[in-house]
């Protein structure tokens, strides 16, 4: 493995972060790829009459930053998703900068699996809270 971490290199408390500002183009591209054309994401007129008072980004668009972190930074390339829980706490809007954070909370040596707390924040407000379990490559 050329980058990322092997199971043997990980420790409880280890963290990584990734930030992205959500754009109109992000929402349109995500809608096209996911086929989620809910007007809350695409139509300001309809969304303005919703509980959110305007358009919001797809929740899974922000959650995708967690996947990006796991697969590219911590643990990194070779990581295999096993499970992910997500609680959506607040909407994300165009122009918001979402900061995804993962933190290792447990290492399961026999299974070579890692449990991580996963969160997305806008400023200091948690917009997504969850937990992931992943399998990680070993040196052998």
Give domain 7-22+57-135's CATH superfamily. Hotdog Thioesterase (3.10.129.10)
pLDDT value for 139: 87
Question: CA torsion sign, 43 to 49 to 55 to 61?
Answer: negative
pLDDT value for 71: 96
What string of pLDDT tens digits covers the 140 residues of the chain? 447 899 999 999 999 999 999 999 999 999 999 999 999 999 999 999 999 999 999 999 999 999 999 999 999 999 999 999 999 999 999 999 999 999 999 999 999 999 999 999 999 999 999 999 999 999 87
Residue count of the chain, please give it: 140
Domain boundaries, the chain: 7-22+57-135
pLDDT value for 1: 42
Q: What is the pTM of this model?
A: 0.92
d(CA 34, CA 31): 5
Q: How many helices (H) and strands (E) does the chain have?
A: 4, 5
């Amino acid at each position: 493995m050329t980058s990322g971490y092997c199971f043997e290199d990980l420790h409880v408390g280890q963290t990584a972060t990734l930030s992205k500002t959500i754009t109109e183009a992000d929402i349109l591209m995500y809608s096209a790829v996911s086929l989620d054309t809910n007007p809350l994401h695409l139509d300001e007129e309809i969304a303005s009459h919703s509980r959110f008072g305007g358009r919001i980004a797809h929740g899974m668009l922000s959650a995708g930053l967690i996947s990006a972190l796991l697969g590219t930074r911590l643990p990194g390339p070779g990581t295999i998703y096993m499970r992910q829980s997500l609680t959506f706490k607040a909407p994300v809007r165009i122009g918001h900068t979402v900061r995804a954070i993962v933190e290792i909370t447990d290492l399961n040596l026999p299974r070579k699996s890692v449990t991580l707390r996963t969160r997305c924040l806008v400023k200091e407000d948690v917009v997504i809270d969850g937990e992931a379990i992943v399998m990680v490559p070993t040196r052998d």
